[in-house]
Structure 1
Amino acid sequence: MAALLLFTLMPFVTLLSAALQPTGQPPRGLTWPSSPQWSNFVEAYQVAEMTPLLVSSVLIVIGVVPVSLLISALAGYGLASLSIPGARWLFLVFIAGLTIPFESLITPLYYQMKALGVLNSRLAVILALIGIFMPFSVFWMRTHFESIPSEIREAAEIDGAGPWQAFWRVHLPLARPAVASLAILLFLWTWNQFILALVLIEDPSMRTVAGALGAFQSQYSTNVVLLAAVSALIMAPSIVVFLLFQRQFSRALLEGAVKG
């Protein structure tokens, strides 16, 4: 496990060491600079004009994550706990959505957002990501709700709780680990979204921070130090969020393994 940990951390250490090298000096292998240039991060932040991009990324995350969580929680609960005609076939449709390559959806999404009149706006990226994330999100939540013992459902029904009350007062509180872990995944996927931001938004200042990396690379392709610094800045929020909520994520993954 220690060897695996070192293997996993090596790319991050290499990126950080490259970002701390003197500007204009190309990094050579994994060498820690004698005088780390922490000012490179400030320069990269200013050169990339990251303030509007951070605001744009936060707005897109706020538009995608809560809506996706709400829809997937309701759909997962309905498919797992309610007697919906054709629920199994409907769930297979969501499973089929997991098999569609993401790259094959870019062109249809472009023309669909153009037809809706939301092209070149954050709403185009928000709507596209919500749709793309639905198959996995519904699968994730349905799997959790199916793992809840049937006795809990029956006890809620005996107490007079209808499907709506049982969902909000019983099932959703029990699903907090699953919801929290799904929120982490949706945040990471939305924050690191690259292709859709480039295709659906023409204004660079309205893209995500990851989407701006392509434009930054085209202008500063020879400045490896600044490229490494701006890459580290883009990755930092994702790393911080995962470290803060990793216990919730691990708890959701292990929850089903300890039942029964």
Structure 2
Amino acid sequence: MLVHQREAVVGRGLLILLMLITVLPFLSLVVTALHPSGTYPEGISWPHSPHWGNFADAFRAADMGKLLLSSVLIVLGVVPASLLLGTMAGFAFGHLRMAGHRVVFLLFVLGLTLPFEGILTPLYYQVRDMGLLNTRWAIILPLIGLFMPFSVLWMRAHFVNVPAELSEAASVDGASTWQQFWRIQVPLATPALSSLAILLFLWTWNQFLLSIVLVDDPTKRTMAGALGAFQGQYGTDIPLLCAGSVLILLPTLAVFLVFQRRFVSALLQGSVKG
């Protein structure tokens, strides 16, 4: 009994330590953003007169309205397409088991092992040859392809565990494969789909490297990608830079707070199923 209590105390202590390590940088960012513009705050010190107007100044200076619209358009281009293609491919690999599915599935698994930075140079030349440089399509299309291996593996993990008797019963009733997919399998896959959608949204919204390499116009990047241009322009104004960083983080923080249970479920589901 004493051993279990000691383990519980140590576990809670580690969780508290991890929470502090996670929260302190964000807290430092917010506190620094409240200092007078042009100053150089040291450490985490609450200002005598918080300058809440720094957030409004950063919003106007970075043209956050256009950045927000650009990020939303990119997310709407990436997430639904990745969900649709990943679900259909996951259904084919996990439930239909078509001929040669093991070899093709292995290729998707190998896609997860490719370092992102390693394909950036050939990706740049390919996007350039397609005439898509400095457009949102230069971010949307590569992200759909880069997210596909994970999306397929995630959805396959769900469909592998769906009883085959459901499809057999639907076939007896005269349902085609397409009808089985949309009317039976997709409704059952709602938890997996919603979890995958949250992860894809967070990854797309926080996309930085593709944005700064393939798109020169900051107003056509994601909000995270536009931070590079904002930093170059206001890099010496630390409070204003921190205020802009907080504004960029707010949407993902809001999504996490609203869907935190689903987010945790998404991480656990991916590690348990298979």
Normalised to the residue count of structure 2, the TM-score between the two structures is 0.89
Q: Which of 200, 219, 222 is the equivalent residue of 1:205?
A: 219
The Cα shift of 1:136 comes to 0.7
Q: Which of 108, 115, 128 is the equivalent residue of 2:122?
A: 108
* SS class of match (1:64): helix
Aligned counterpart, 1:179: 193
Equivalent-residue separation in structure 2 for 1:235 and 1:256 (angstroms): 25
Between stretches 248-257 and 105-114, larger displacement belongs to: 248-257
Tell whether 2:91 aligns with 1:72: no
Aligned counterpart, 2:110: 96
The Cα shift of 1:19 comes to 1.0
Change (3 A) 1:208 1:248: same
Tell whether 2:134 aligns with 1:120: yes
The Cα shift of 1:20 comes to 1.2
Q: Which of 174, 190, 206 is the equivalent residue of 1:160?
A: 174
For 1:7, the aligned partner's letter is I
Equivalent-residue separation in structure 1 for 2:45 and 2:165 (angstroms): 59
For 1:9, the aligned partner's letter is V
Q: Which of 187, 208, 229 is the equivalent residue of 1:194?
A: 208
Aligned counterpart, 2:27: 13
* SS class of match (1:211): helix
**8 Å Cα contact 1:177/1:249 also seen in 2:** no
How many residue pairs are counted as aligned between the two chains?
Answer: 259
The Cα shift of 1:258 comes to 8.7
Q: What whole-Å deviation, never above 9, does each CA across 1:201-226 have from its counterpart, x for those lacking one?
A: 12222122111111111122111111
Q: Which of 111, 123, 137 is the equivalent residue of 2:151?
A: 137
Equivalent-residue separation in structure 1 for 2:188 and 2:26 (angstroms): 36
Aligned counterpart, 1:170: 184
Q: What whole-Å deviation, never above 9, does each CA across 1:224-245 have from its counterpart, x for those lacking one?
A: 1111111111111011112212
Change (3 A) 1:103 1:83: same
Equivalent-residue separation in structure 1 for 2:43 and 2:133 (angstroms): 43
For 1:15, the aligned partner's letter is L
**8 Å Cα contact 2:95/2:164 also seen in 1:** no
**8 Å Cα contact 1:147/1:256 also seen in 2:** no
- How many percent identity over aligned positions? 57
For 1:189, the aligned partner's letter is W
Aligned counterpart, 2:6: none
Equivalent-residue separation in structure 2 for 1:156 and 1:88 (angstroms): 26
Structure 1: runs of 5+ lacking an equivalent: none
Equivalent-residue separation in structure 1 for 2:134 and 2:51 (angstroms): 37
Q: Which of 16, 34, 40 is the equivalent residue of 1:26?
A: 40
Tell whether 2:53 aligns with 1:43: no
**8 Å Cα contact 2:86/2:152 also seen in 1:** yes
Change (3 A) 1:7 1:166: same
**8 Å Cα contact 2:154/2:270 also seen in 1:** no
Aligned counterpart, 2:9: none
The Cα shift of 1:7 comes to 2.5
Tell whether 2:243 aligns with 1:229: yes
Structure 2: runs of 5+ lacking an equivalent: 1-14
Equivalent-residue separation in structure 2 for 1:258 and 1:128 (angstroms): 29
Equivalent-residue separation in structure 2 for 1:186 and 1:144 (angstroms): 17
**8 Å Cα contact 1:40/1:226 also seen in 2:** yes
Equivalent-residue separation in structure 1 for 2:67 and 2:271 (angstroms): 40
Between stretches 3-12 and 133-142, larger displacement belongs to: 3-12
